[in-house]
């Protein structure tokens, strides 16, 4: 969806389980580790965690949510490439909504979100089980 009016129109449509509306987003997150053990909580005192941390890298988090049912799918990967995005959508289609006639996908305009990239990726042969 490229325009706010289009998105608002999608949200006003009645719920149809054969045509689910899925909101999808992704982003990079730091992977952090504690440098000191947290101090456990005691009576009347919360657990205390030191503000220092050790950086352990970065990962990408893909999230897809169906607002009307609360169904949520999350995938963590090392990268955020067009291929990773297409594989996440393939997983949603095959696992969460195998019986849907059509999936309405609401997302931002990130450069990895292009129909051509998705089609190219999905038309490749799947690995054998």
What are the sequence ranges of the domains in the chain?
4-29+61-122
3-state SS string for 37-100: CCECCECCECCECCCCEEEEEEEEEEEEEECCCCEEEEEEECCCCHHHHHHHHHHHHHHHCCCC
Quote the CA–CA distance of 22 and 64 in Å, as a whole number: 6
> What pTM does this model have?
0.68
4-29+61-122: what CATH class? alpha beta
Q: What does each of the 129 residues of the chain score in pLDDT, given as a tens digit?
A: 457 788 888 888 999 999 999 999 989 999 999 999 999 999 999 999 998 999 999 999 999 999 999 999 999 999 888 888 888 999 999 999 999 999 998 887 655 555 555 555 555 555 444
């Amino acid at each position: 969806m490229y325009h706010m009016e289009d998105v608002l129109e999608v949200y006003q449509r009645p719920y149809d389980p054969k045509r689910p509306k899925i909101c999808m987003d992704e982003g990079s997150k730091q992977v952090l580790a504690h440098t000191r053990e947290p101090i456990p909580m005691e009576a009347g005192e919360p657990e205390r965690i030191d503000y220092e941390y050790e950086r352990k890298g970065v990962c990408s988090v893909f999230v897809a949510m169906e607002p009307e049912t609360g169904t949520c799918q999350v995938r963590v990967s090392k990268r955020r490439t067009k291929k990773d995005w297409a594989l996440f959508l393939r997983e949603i289609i095959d696992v969460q909504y195998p019986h849907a006639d059509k999936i309405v996908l609401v997302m931002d305009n990130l450069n990895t979100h292009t129909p051509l990239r998705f089609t190219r990726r999905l038309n490749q042969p799947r690995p054998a089980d």
